[in-house]
Chains A and B, each alone.
Chain A
Amino acid sequence: MTRSALIPGVNPFARLLQLQDALESTSRRPSGWFATSLAGRGAFPPVNILRDDRGCVVRFEVPGLDPAAISVQGQSQTLTVSGKRSHEGAPGTLHRDERWSGEFKRSVELPRDLKPADATAEYRNGVLSIRVPLREDAKPQQIAVRAS
C-alpha cells in the first residue's frame, strides 16, 4: 500500500489539489485499520483520520456547535465524540431544512500504539480536531551501543 504524505509545497492551489486527491484516494481504499465499530460513511458527523510520527489526528466536520456542549472521551482504544446540534431556532416559515440537527455520538476504535485517554481536542471554524498521542512504549527508543 502506498501512502503519500502531504508535503507542503509552494503553490497553495497545488497543495489543495494534492490534498483533495489524497483524501479521495484514501476514501476509496478499504481500511483494515479500524474495527467494525466505526458506523461508516453517511453518519453524522463525518470523520477523517490522519497520521504523523507523533500519533494521529481524528477530525470531524461539525459546524455550529457550542464548544462547551461537545463531549470527547477516551477509554482504552476507543475515542467517543458526542453532542447536540439544534436548529437556529429563528421564527418564521421554514423553506429549506438541509442542516442536520439532533443528538449525535460516534466512536472510533484506534490501533494499540495510540493512547486516546491522553488526547487533546480543539474546535475551530466548525471543525473538531482531536490529537491522539502515541503510547510511551510505542515511541521509538534510542538504544545505546556500548563498545566492548
Chain B
Amino acid sequence: MPNENELTVKQETQAREENLRPGRTFAPNVEIRETDDALWLWADLPGVDQDSVGVHLENDVLRIEAVVQPDDYANLTPVYTEYNVGSFHRSFRLSTGIDAANISARMGSGVLEVRLPKAQEARPQQIPVNVQ
C-alpha cells in the first residue's frame, strides 16, 4: 500500500574532504546484503548513466561517486520542486576481507549493483566433525 506519510526526502551529505567544485552532493539510499560468499550493495542513483558512476575500494573503504548532468533541465522553469539534483557520494568501511580483483558492478534504471566477493579466508569454513 502506498504510504504517503513515509519520509523519503533525499539526504544531502558532506563529503569528508571538501569538493574541488562547488555544488550539492547527496547520499544515495542503499540496500546491503551479505551471503556466505559475497557482500551485495544496491544504491539508488536516479539520473545517473552508466558512464558517470565510479566504484572504488581502497584500504577497506568502498567509495561510490556519481555525477548527474543538468541537461534534462535546459530551458525549463521550475514551478514546484520536491527534490534537488547533484552529485552522489557515499563510502562504507568494510569489516570483511574482500577479493578486490573480482568486484563487479553494473548500472540499470538508475540503480547501481555491486557484488563484492569475500576473500577465501573470510568465507565460512565447514569443519568436519568426526564421529568416534
Contact = CB atoms under 8 A, between A and B. Distances in A.
Nearest to B110: A126
A95 B42 CA distance: 12
A61 B77 contact: no
A56 B9 CA distance: 23
A49 B77 CA distance: 9
A94 B31 contact: yes
B84 interface: yes
Interface in B79-132: 79-86, 108-111, 113
Contacts of A146: none
B92 to A, nearest CB: 9
Nearest to A100: B8
Interface string A87-115: 11011111111111011111000000000
Nearest to B84: A23
Contact of A48 (B45, B82, B110): B82
A48 B78 CA distance: 7
B96 to A, nearest CB: 11
Nearest to B78: A26
Given A5-B77, A13-B23, A87-B31, A42 B2 contact: no
B72 interface: yes
Interface in A48-65: 48-52, 56-57, 59, 61-65
Interface of A: 3-8, 12-13, 15-17, 19-20, 22-24, 26-27, 31, 33-34, 38-39, 41-52, 56-57, 59, 61-67, 87-88, 90-100, 102-106, 123, 125-127, 129
29 contacts: A3-B77, A5-B77, A8-B74, A16-B85, A16-B86, A17-B23, A19-B73, A20-B84, A23-B81, A26-B80, A26-B81, A27-B82, A39-B4, A46-B10, A46-B82, A47-B80, A49-B80, A51-B76, A56-B79, A61-B47, A63-B45, A64-B44, A87-B31, A92-B36, A93-B35, A99-B30, A125-B47, A126-B46, A129-B72
